[in-house]
Structure 1
Amino acid sequence: MTSGYLALVLHAHLPFVRHPESDYVLEEEWLYEAITETYIPLLKVFEGLHADGVDFKLTMSITPPLLSMLRDPLLQERYDQHLAQLQKLAEREVERNHFNDHVRYLAEYYVKEFAEVRSIWESYHGDLIGALKKFLDSNNLDIITCGATHGYFPLLKINPETVWAQIKVAAEHYEQEFGRSPNGMWIPECAYYNGLEELVADAGIRYFLIDGHGVLYAQPRPRYGTYAPIFTEPGVAVFGRDHESSQQVWSSELGYPGDPTYREFYKDLGWEAEYEYIKPYVMPNGQRKNTGIKYHRITTRGADLGAKEYYDPYWAREKTAEHAGNFMFNRQHQIDHLCETMGREPIVVSPYDAELFGHWWYEGPWFIDYLMRKAYYDQNAFEMTHLSDYLQAHPQQQVARPAQSSWGYKGFHEYWLNHTNTWIYPHLHKAGERMIELARRESADELQERALNQAARELLLAQSSDWAFIMSSGSMVPYAERRTKSHLLRFNKLYESITASQIDSGWLEKVEYMDNIFPQVDYRVYRAKSS
């Protein structure tokens, strides 16, 4: 008999970046890199586990923007071209490295790896969502949703209808794509405010996740801390993040990804190779960028990039198996101790950004593969579960109200509301008021209906928490500012043209083509729920 449960949760999210108006936009490569380094490698792990009879369980959010991009024919075509270019570069690397056996070995490794990515991509005809749906249908994956565009709910709640739209549009989009309602929701940035659970319940969602202190400081105080979900008064369950297991993976000082054996993220061929050689594989304007081909390992933390030694995937894979075993060992002891202390079976919820596994931590998918296999074959202290299965087996929990929280800096809202980004919120709030006003209208004709629906899309896209996050981080700030302003400008132009009954059909068609997320959105979602 097991002592408790372990639930890994992967949050797969990227902001909606799609630029059909341009032949090349660097930020579109965020998606292409994640497909190559995270989503296809994870899919390969899932397929391998399933083929070997390992009944793995994992919770995975796929946010509506990411889902929309992975389904988009234009981005699928552009990814295919991106991968072809990457394969050409790897093949050239094999040819040019005749006099360095180790680099040639690594180049040959990348040729093989990219060929495997190509094989999986083509076997599913570019439909990675359909591929993942197989594991939802087999109950190996509990695929959940998120806010429609990852809006930061506590900073939008001044207009509650806009939070409702983020939740309702996401739930409806999930059902359109997967043919069923979502059981759970990853609250964007784990940012909770009192009363949010009522909107989540109204959308038919059974549970959501927040940061650990949001549960620890709930009222009344939860008897079992974060090691059991709490139920809110509307009946929605809330799971809190476990700090101990998260730190082992996340921490830049203590986490596994910083091991000297692992691949160095910041030393890439795009910056290292002679310029004329690499020029055909960087940006069209000739500016260097990451290619995804990296030959060096971390070596020592804090070392100058010039001091990095060559990477070896064989030894990195061995280290990954060691770390997976260590993670399992620690969870065994943690869960045994908790079971004895609590007098009941605990659940340890370990959530991470999915893109950590593969993109930032190249060996991450191997870690998940080893962990799932070791947990299945090598121990009986805990059972791997996903959150829907756990709730079905444990329908009775303590009722409490979570505390306001997020998983950002200092645990609250500071990262999304500071001197770098505070300017966006008056504009978002005003646009929210205007959208609620528009939602009270009945469209006069098809053209006005289209304009109203596009106004809803533009507001949703402007609300993405990613833009405020990027402004705080200091990286790619001009792009984040431009995206916020462009969606707000389009929204305001739509508002003014609708209220004046002077809609420019040609301009509207162009905007619909560029910002084509949520094709079935209904602007009436911004009406108060009681109306």
Structure 2
Amino acid sequence: MPGQFTLVLHSHLPWLANHGRWPVGEEWLYQSWAASYLPVFAMLRRLADDGLRDQFSLGITPVLAAQLDDPHCGASMYEWLADWQLRATEAAVDADPDRQALGQREYRAAADALAGFETHWRHGGSPQIRALAAAGVVEILGGPLAHPFAPLLNPRLRDFSLREGLADAHARWGYDPTGIWAPECAFAPGMETEYAAAGVGHFMVDGPTLHGDTALGRPVGDTDVVAFGRDLVVSYRVWSPKSGYPGHAAYRDFHTYDHATGLKPARVTGRTVASEDKKPYEPERVDAVIDRHVDDFVAQVRRRLIAESERQGRPALVVAAFDTELFGHWWHEGPVWLERVLRRLPEAGVQVGTLASAKRDGFVGEPVDLPASSWGSGKDWRVWNGPQVQHLVQLNAEVTDTALDTVDKLVGPGSVRSLVADQIVREALLTVSSDWPFMVSKDTAAAYAVDRAHKHAHATREICDAALSGRDARAATLAGNWACADNLFRGLDARRLRGGLR
């Protein structure tokens, strides 16, 4: 087969620790950890043990990495897994045979997850990530702190966020990512020079940003920074709301719960079937369906590689990109499908590699100038600056100005580190997270998102107000109290904000 296929997985959750549990909050982290991160990392260990290398590019945002290493999150995750097993026990002793089968199945799954967590995750996520990077089974992609929508961010804070995010990766993993997943695949002309200055060699954009011509990476502007585009023809084969694999009738339904235990008892049954009418999930029906979808995907990749290679007269690159949380959390059978795909593609003659290996092996075309873009609705910025989130756009601008002005007054040339200034920057970065406007625009826990944005904005403002009015002890107390909840990025040093873009 000509060319190379590259899978890119983007792993991200906003900072959830100490900000609610249910229905939105830490529960989101523990569900994703149990259903996605545990099985995906276990799969990668198996692939590494079999000597496989350069299987895909794995983006892990600094804010997610911080939660996977956080002692509170680790202890709470262990409790969540134990609670999962208790809830399964409750279902297993029910008189209803379907709930008995559900409980027994979930009890075994919880036991396996507990064993895997105790064995591999008890010291946090960083040892896992370091080991996978060292084995060469994946390329690890970094990113900016707290996942901001970079094009709308003050350039000074944008530069700081990116550089500190890369430094955070080095501190946690002893590894310097050469590629990043730009939050929301968002881009504004000129950002390529900032990437080059920070040492970023490649990043992801969505297919329409390259006008659908994603068969090669493209240097951006006058830099050597390469933009790789997501191939929508292949990617939408998996993750399409109308025809994607996870919607098959036999797969476990994400949205239907057994409300007594919180377990998921039903299969999709049909796309228009109401939750109360869905049939019980039957794992024995699934294996053959997974195999059919693996074969279909492999065939699609082959067809796309051949067509794109013929079109451009040279071996093509095909990049499929997804959220990691799709595999397991949203699509229960996803991790099994993913491992079978990765093992079957080479058997079908398809070369598998990473973004880094694609760049190294010459899957790069002529330079381009990229437009303002994202991978959101409309492939523009409307999700993050549309009319429904203008109040958050204004909030972000006000908080950023207040934070930068205050930090400039607190730290100067030769000054000692200020924990007050550090916490101001930390809260400002959490305020401008891209997750909050996304959740509002998509009406997914919008009230939680607005509350979180305003909570971090309030923290920023009250620390700034105390600091600027000379109430140093009060400012230190406020900063310390907020740090109890938002204790991420402890290496962040506000003094590095001085001087603007370098």
* Other-structure match for 1:28: 26
> Does the C-alpha gap of structure 1 residues 335 and 494 become closer, same or farther in structure 2, counting only changes over 3 Å?
same
- Determine whether 1:129 maps to 2:129: no
- Determine whether 1:14 maps to 2:9: no
* Other-structure match for 1:287: none
Aligned letter for 1:411?
Answer: K
Distance 1:308 1:24 in 2: 25
- Counterpart secondary structure, 2:387: coil
Stretches of structure 2 that go unaligned for 5 or more consecutive residues are none
Q: 1:245 aligns with which of 226, 229, 234?
A: 234
* Other-structure match for 1:58: 56
Q: Is the 8 A contact 2:62 2:143 kept in 1?
A: yes
- Counterpart secondary structure, 1:143: strand
Aligned residues: 497
Distance 1:473 1:341 in 2: 37
Deviation at 1:529, TM superposition (A): 4.1
Deviation at 1:456, TM superposition (A): 0.7
Q: Is the 8 A contact 1:339 1:345 kept in 2?
A: yes
Aligned letter for 1:513?
Answer: C
> Does the C-alpha gap of structure 1 residues 149 and 58 become closer, same or farther in structure 2, counting only changes over 3 Å?
same
Give 1:16-415 correspondences, 5 Å limit. Answer: 16-19=15-18, 26-55=24-53, 57-97=55-95, 99-100=96-97, 102-126=98-122, 127-156=124-153, 159-216=154-211, 225-232=213-220, 233-270=222-259, 273=260, 278=261, 291=262, 293-376=263-346, 378-380=347-349, 382-394=350-362, 397-415=365-383
* Other-structure match for 1:286: none
Distance 1:116 1:128 in 2: 18
Q: Over aligned residues, Cα RMSD in angstroms?
A: 2.1
Aligned letter for 1:264?
Answer: D
Q: Is the 8 A contact 1:69 1:75 kept in 2?
A: yes
- Determine whether 1:474 maps to 2:443: yes
- Counterpart secondary structure, 2:10: strand
Q: Is the 8 A contact 1:9 1:58 kept in 2?
A: yes
- Determine whether 1:426 maps to 2:422: no
Q: Is the 8 A contact 1:324 1:367 kept in 2?
A: yes
Aligned letter for 1:146?
Answer: G
Q: Deviations over 1:434-468 (max 9, x none)?
A: 33333434638999711111111011000101111
TM-score by length of 2: 0.94
TM-score by length of 1: 0.89
Stretches of structure 1 that go unaligned for 5 or more consecutive residues are 218-224, 279-290
Q: Is the 8 A contact 2:121 2:128 kept in 1?
A: no
Q: Is the 8 A contact 2:463 2:478 kept in 1?
A: no
- Counterpart secondary structure, 1:423: helix
Q: Is the 8 A contact 2:130 2:175 kept in 1?
A: no
Distance 2:386 2:91 in 1: 45
Deviation at 1:53, TM superposition (A): 4.2
* Other-structure match for 1:515: 486
Distance 2:181 2:272 in 1: 34
- Counterpart secondary structure, 1:42: helix
Distance 2:415 2:455 in 1: 25
Deviation at 1:507, TM superposition (A): 2.4
> Does the C-alpha gap of structure 1 residues 529 and 359 become closer, same or farther in structure 2, counting only changes over 3 Å?
same
> Does the C-alpha gap of structure 1 residues 529 and 202 become closer, same or farther in structure 2, counting only changes over 3 Å?
farther
Q: Deviations over 1:371-415 (max 9, x none)?
A: 011113x211x2110111111222863112112111111111111
Distance 2:103 2:18 in 1: 32
Distance 2:485 2:181 in 1: 27
Distance 1:193 1:485 in 2: 26
> Does the C-alpha gap of structure 1 residues 24 and 239 become closer, same or farther in structure 2, counting only changes over 3 Å?
closer
Aligned letter for 1:507?
Answer: L
Aligned letter for 1:227?
Answer: A
> Does the C-alpha gap of structure 1 residues 458 and 120 become closer, same or farther in structure 2, counting only changes over 3 Å?
same
- Counterpart secondary structure, 1:352: strand
- Counterpart secondary structure, 1:174: helix
Q: Deviations over 1:134-188 (max 9, x none)?
A: 11111111111122111111222xx211211221121111111111211111111
Q: Deviations over 1:240-260 (max 9, x none)?
A: 110101110111111111111
Aligned letter for 1:133?
Answer: R
Q: Is the 8 A contact 2:11 2:323 kept in 1?
A: yes
Q: Is the 8 A contact 1:185 1:205 kept in 2?
A: yes
Q: Percent identity?
A: 25
Q: Deviations over 1:256-277 (max 9, x none)?
A: 111111011111112xx4xxxx
Distance 2:226 2:93 in 1: 56
> Does the C-alpha gap of structure 1 residues 4 and 76 become closer, same or farther in structure 2, counting only changes over 3 Å?
same
Q: Is the 8 A contact 1:19 1:25 kept in 2?
A: no
- Counterpart secondary structure, 1:10: strand
Q: Which moved more, 1:62-71 or 1:495-504?
A: 495-504
Distance 1:240 1:366 in 2: 26
Distance 1:113 1:90 in 2: 9
* Other-structure match for 1:437: 405
Q: Which moved more, 1:42-51 or 1:64-73?
A: 42-51
Q: Is the 8 A contact 1:213 1:403 kept in 2?
A: no
Distance 1:125 1:65 in 2: 17
Distance 1:446 1:318 in 2: 65
